[in-house]
Amino acid sequence: MILKKLFRPIDIAPLVFFRVVVGGLITIELAGEIITDYGADYFHTDFHFSYLFFEWLKPWPSFWMHLHFAFNVLMALFVTLGLYYRASALLLCLGTTSAFLMEKSVYINHTYLYCLTAFLMIFIPAHKAWSLDVRRKPRLEQSSVPAWTLWILLFQISVVYIFAGLAKLNPDWFRGTPLNIWLPARSHYFIIGPLLAQPWLPYVMSWGGAAFDLLVVPLMLWRFTRRWTFFIALTFHFTNVCIFGIGTFPWYSMAMTALFFPPHSFRKLPLLRKKLPAYVPLNFNKLLQPAAKKAIAVFLALYMLVQIAVPLRQYTYAGNSSWTEAGHNFSWHMMLRSKRGGSIYYRVVDPASGEEWQVDPRNYITPHQYRSMTGKPDMILELAHHIRDKYARDGYEGVEVYAHCSVEFNGRPNLLLTDTTVNLSQESRRLGPYSWVLPFEED
């Protein structure tokens, strides 16, 4: 029964909409990475923060890294146009994911989401109508696709919404603490500035944001509430554009949320009107072999399991993940907490000679990397290892490295994050919280 529903034919229109609009937004986002300072930490430092298990993946030399970014833009454009779509989607996924994994300090949730989207594009036949591939090979054209090709996209955006909502269920968020920091700082904005300075607004936006994230999916699934919910979604995301910017992500979210509407309704959009072939449902349950259908079902189940398990891991760790950072990345914690100010320095001790040095991390990394690592234990530990190895190369074998990191967490006065008595040169990187991270005492 499940297999039959997965391969039920639906109109291809929403997939064409997805390819053109979402593909176009990813193209714009990647082009923006070239013309802004996004890539600065790839080009202007000898040390790069890495993800656990991907320490071997390093940025190219400057020229080739620029070429890598330009290649990603070209592949995204090819996907949008539906030109050599399958190969372009594969290369886009490889190009964006490898660039993403090369430098941990530039982690952004929506960059990770775009990597996942590029991965899904490989398997979704969004090029089989109104594409350059169809113009090249008219035999490719079809007006219907299996239902799973749309459902997996709906699943992906649902995971983002739901886990973003669950992450907001914490005391600081309901007290409006992060937004009490961010909104008044934007009170100078044209027109909306006075509104952002209102003391009640952080509470309204905090509670409203949590409710929106948790309810938008079920309300979009129910046809009686879909239109009003979509209007609220447009308002919510456009508000984020006006206040926070966040690149193309709000527009991406609007486009993905629109996919909850019935597939045939996308034919009414000016973008697609009279550009698609007449709808002819294909019997995919008969066209595909049972083994192929089972393989697709297993792939979908595994993908969904991973997408649920990765954000859930944070709940298996002790402590506040916004403080310890354990399970924070890849869990859709979007603008959830404020870590700013504070400072970090290392104390290096040579047990053999008794010599001691105080080391400023900025001797090794860029200002952006410094801001990014402050308050993030895994990055603090990785740089400690780098400093240890640097002193070893200079003839000081077996040095001890201690970190002193304090940070303003959600507006609180500077709190000490690290146990300054623990020798980080002997600590190993791993998943989960580190024992040398001091506990956060809830108010």
**CA separation (Å) from 26 to 32, 111, 266, 354, 440?**
10, 9, 21, 54, 38
Taking only the tens place, the pLDDT of each residue in 207-240 is 999 999 999 999 999 999 999 999 999 999 999 9
CB 366 within 8 A of CB 386: no
Mean pLDDT within 123-152? 98
Q: What percent of the chain has pLDDT over 70?
A: 98
One-letter amino acid for residue 173 of the chain? W
- Residue-wise pLDDT for 273-321, tens only, equals 999 999 999 999 999 999 999 999 999 999 999 999 999 999 999 889 9
Please state, in angstroms and as integers, the Cα–Cα distance from residue 223 to each residue in 125, 211, 230, 253, following that order: 26, 19, 11, 19
Closest CA to 96 of 74, 111, 79: 111
pLDDT surpasses 70 at 39:
no
In eight-state DSSP terms, residue 260 is T
Tokens of residue 290, six digits: 């049972």
Which range among 66-70, 86-90, 381-385 shows the weakest confidence by mean pLDDT?
66-70
**pLDDT greater than 80 at residue 44:** no
Phi, psi of 343 (to 5 degrees): -160, 165
Residue 347, strand partner residues: 358, 402
Structure tokens at 220: 């979009």
When pLDDT is cut at 50, 70 and 90, the band that residue 83 belongs to is very high
**What number of other Cβ atoms are within 10 A of residue 428's Cβ?**
8
Does position 40 have pLDDT exceeding 90, yes or no? no
pTM beyond 0.85: the answer is yes
